[in-house]
Amino acid sequence: MSIVLALGAAAFYGSADFVGAVAARRTAALSVALGAQVSGLVLLLVALPFLGAAVVTRHDLLFGAAAGVFGGLGVVVVYRTLAKGPMSVVAPTTALSASAVPVLAGLVLGDRPGPAALLGIAVSFVAVALITRERRDAPVPAREAVAALLPALAGGAIFGLFFVLLHQTGDHAGLWPLLAARLTSVPILAVLAASRREPLGLRSASMAGAVVVSGSLDMAANILYLLASQHGMLAVVAALTGLYPASTIVLAQTRLSERMAPVQLAGLGVAALAAVMVAA
């Protein structure tokens, strides 16, 4: 069950990124992120009563709140890096870092996947690297690539810590750790937006709808990830969730008529192989 939930989380995370990125092309990225976080919070409040009784402790809420700090900061760092650096460097570096941190943490904390699953985890990193390769008419200058590398690694690692901290909550805590996380991250983004005097209004109903959809998809992904991590090994769940760029690339091709490079098509095939190996 954790395998299915993790793959579902990957599909929703990638879809949320796609919708959010399209909205961010038309208004301030920080405003999009804040609006998406608020709409996700509304969805979470609606979903809470439908998952049955939960046994939540102070430990669960504290780790959830800590996860929210890293989740909020991760959004800021990644958006800033995407705005300043070449996406062909930032996107794959962030995706690999975001999945590598919880995978390594899971192994350090005692996860012991079988040989096939371990090989599948390694293959999943290869898949992400291939999927996120972009077509470019000109190569990225070495200095520009190096300048973007460290912030991209940092942003991905911060997101990875969000996944690690959520995994530390109890198996019977339900969605309450996510509520603690979101009640922490929303004020962080609100304060940051206010300090930078970002416009918080959305220019049209279609843009507002895109932000709501992005936030709802992101929260659905968070819910699936939390449930998967409560019932499966962190290293395995994180590796499968880290395949989220696949759905972003597929949506970009189908909705924006972007052409996938052959290496990206190969990456989708490698991602499917990795999922099978991890689930075996």
Backbone angles phi, psi at 113, to 5 degrees: -65, 155
Nearest of 15, 144, 3 to residue 86 by alpha carbon: 144
Q: What is the distance in angstroms between the CA of the first residue and the CA of the last residue of the chain?
A: 13
Residue 202: the pLDDT is 60
Structure tokens given for 245: 């760029």
On the question of pLDDT at 137 being above 60, the answer is: no
Distance of CA 79 to the CA centre of its chain: 13
- Give residue 15's identity as a one-letter amino acid code: S
Residue 143: the pLDDT is 62
Structure tokens given for 116: 């096939």
Nearest of 32, 5, 7 to residue 207 by alpha carbon: 32
Interval 166-180 mean pLDDT:
91
For 120, residues 6+ apart whose C-beta sits below 8 A from its C-beta are 239, 273, 274, 275, 276, 277, 278, 279, 280
Structure tokens given for 123: 């293959």
Nearest of 173, 186, 167 to residue 235 by alpha carbon: 167
Residue 84: the pLDDT is 66
Rounded Cα distance between 53 and 108, Å, is: 32
On the question of pLDDT at 29 being above 80, the answer is: no
Q: What is the DSSP string of 188-204?
A: HHHHHHHHTT---S-SS
Q: What is the pTM of this model?
A: 0.86
On the question of pLDDT at 86 being above 70, the answer is: no
Structure tokens given for 180: 């603690």
Structure tokens given for 130: 């291939």
Decide if 98 contacts 238 (C-beta within 8 A): no
What separation in angstroms does the CA of 10 have from each of 7, 15, 61? 5, 9, 24
Neighbours of 211 (CB within 10 A): 25
Neighbours of 47 (CB within 10 A): 16
Decide if 180 contacts 68 (C-beta within 8 A): yes
On the question of pLDDT at 72 being above 60, the answer is: yes
Structure tokens given for 262: 């052959």
What separation in angstroms does the CA of 269 have from each of 79, 124, 178? 28, 11, 32
Q: Which of the residue ranges 158-162, 205-209, 275-279 would you say has the lowest mean pLDDT?
A: 205-209
- Give residue 224's identity as a one-letter amino acid code: L
On the question of pLDDT at 97 being above 90, the answer is: no
